[in-house]
Amino acid sequence: MDLKEFFILSLLLCCAQFGWTRMPRNYLDETSASHVNVMDFEAVGDGETDDSQILGHILAPSEISSWESKHVETWILFDSIKGLTINGSGSGKIDGQGSSWWECKSEAKCSSAPTAVGVNGCDDFQINGLKFVNSQGMHVVLNKCNGVKISNVEISAPEDSPNTDGIHFQRCKNVEITNSVIGTGDDCISIGTATSNVNISKVFCGPGHGISVGSLGKHDSAAVEQIHVSNCTLRSTMYGARIKTWQGGSGFAKSITFEDIIIDSTDNPIVIDQYYCNGNHNCGNNTSAVEVSDVKFINFQGTSSSKTAIKLACSETVACTDIHLRQVHLKTPESNEVKAYCLNVKGTSTDVNPDVPCLDN
């Protein structure tokens, strides 16, 4: 067995506790561990050597009963690895077979579901040419990573599949996502707290909830900055470019730019919402908020499925400041006029249709 073949099996080894996958027999004879370090098998891990390819399909168990009493939050986990590159070569697929989980959640019998692929504490980590489909919960979650490159990936799940975010990351820095197609039942890409220096470009998103910064500030102070999203298309999504924060939070979200965005039949193309409250949460009024500043929406073109194409809803006590819209042209699919909602926002509006009443022209 060569290194590439072993790596494919080592991915499956992460899930060995379920007893439904096949591992190298001699390895299992020697250890009962459910984790494997590919560096022990002469993987180079320099960020350049092609140590790892996924050429076939990796399938999760389809029935929830297969997961019972396993206490699994993440199906496949990469933990504390430096310089690993995963190459799907356009044919590798990770299939969560999550429909039973979606049904369980829709019936309120399950409050959560496993993440398909987790990446924790990994530096100089790359994913290229891989397909992710039908995750039980989120498809890819990155936490505490530095130097991540994700390119040429496809992520798909039905529009009504709950909480199946495409890519979510938090406590990360120096992240690049390019040339990818994502369509799910939640955010195509969501950016969590303690994250900086992110570049997202040439991403097609839809269906889903758009590309979001947040939600931020629910449990603790938020810190997000230097986010750049460009040359993306959002089609038939619930939201387009969105910043969402909970009341009662603290911290900041700043230096955020969305530019050169095509909007195609999106319900809410441009959103800043400091009153975010989802699910069954009882969100009372609270005067504190995550401070949102230095945000730019530049060159948005296309159609809004709702009459309110721009929604900027900010706190009276912690207003959104230094907010700038430029070259934004939105109409309904029938070429009718749309409108903007604006509350407690300071900034400028240049060549924008619809007019944003609380911004200086």
Q: How far apart are CA 87 and CA 99, in angstroms?
A: 26
CA distances from 301 to 158, 188, 232, 236, 350 (A): 26, 19, 11, 14, 14
- Nearest-angstrom CA–CA distance, 306 and 333: 9
CB contact at 8 A, 265 and 234: no
CA distances from 161 to 115, 137, 240 (A): 13, 9, 19
Instruction: Name the catalytic one among 168, 209, 281, 324.
Output: 209
| Residue 308 in tokens | 């309110």
User: How does 64-82 read in b/e, with b if 16+ C-beta sit within 10 Å?
Assistant: beebeeeebebbbbbeebe
* CA distances from residue 273 to 84, 142, 249, 276, 325 in whole angstroms, order as listed: 37, 24, 13, 6, 16
The residue assigned the tokens 């799907």 is 88
Each residue of 262-294: b (16+ CB within 10 Å) or e?
bbbbbbbbbbbbbbbeeeeeeeeeeeebbbbbb
- 215, 224 in Cβ contact below 8 A? no
| Residue 209 annotated among the catalytic residues of the structure | yes
* Token pair of 173 as six digits: 């820095």
- Cβ pair 345, 320 in contact under 8 A: yes
Which of the residues are catalytic? 209
